């Protein structure tokens, strides 16, 4: 039987869960749910993203995101603007009011990261980041390849059924 403590998947999952819990504990005073701060964090990285794309990135259903965005918009943190290319869609932007909150979030994230990396030499920290970036890139390429193969298989099936 495999040892979960030696499994990359288990370790990365555990570390991610513990980082979120640590951050959540520190961020309680901000008055945001985990889903809300995650949405704000993604929006800070990509202003103007579509609602559908944000739902996909957050791995939540679009209707769930709509309710979450309603609350963020009511709080004056997010604004929806019509998509110039799709009249059924909206693009999402942070308001100026969100900026101080984001600054506090990033400060809390720094504290969480520092606690997680305490006692680890800077060279090992850099190696860890590079290793995780490498894993992410490999998995993104595998996902892209699987999507391309799936689309190719679908075209072949459609052509055979035509």
Give residue-wise pLDDT tens across range 29-63: 888 888 899 999 999 999 999 999 999 999 999 99
Would you give the DSSP letter of residue 46?
S
Give the integer Cα–Cα distance in Å for 122 and 27.
26
Predicted local distance difference test score (pLDDT) of residue 144: 87
Q: Give me the count of residues in the chain.
A: 162
**C-alpha angle 63-82-66 in degrees, rounded to nearest 5:** 15
| Below-70 pLDDT ranges, the chain | 1
> 4-118 domain in CATH 1.10.10.10?
yes
| 8 Å CB contact between 64 and 52 | no
């Amino acid at each position: 039987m495999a040892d979960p403590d030696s499994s990359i998947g288990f370790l990365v999952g555990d570390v991610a869960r513990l980082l979120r819990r640590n951050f959540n504990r520190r961020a309680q005073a901000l008055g945001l749910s985990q889903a809300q701060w995650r949405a704000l964090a993604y929006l800070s990285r990509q202003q103007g993203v579509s609602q559908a794309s944000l739902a996909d990135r957050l791995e939540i259903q679009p209707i769930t995101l709509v309710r979450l965005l309603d609350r963020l918009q009511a709080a004056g943190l997010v604004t929806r603007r019509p998509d110039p290319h799709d009249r059924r869609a909206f693009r999402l932007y942070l308001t100026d009011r969100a900026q101080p909150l984001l600054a506090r979030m990033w400060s809390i994230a720094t504290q969480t990261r520092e606690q997680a990396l305490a006692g680890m030499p800077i060279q090992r920290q850099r190696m860890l980041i590079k290793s995780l970036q490498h894993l992410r890139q490999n998995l993104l390429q595998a996902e892209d390849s699987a999507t391309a193969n799936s689309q190719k298989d679908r075209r072949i099936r459609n052509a055979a059924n035509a």
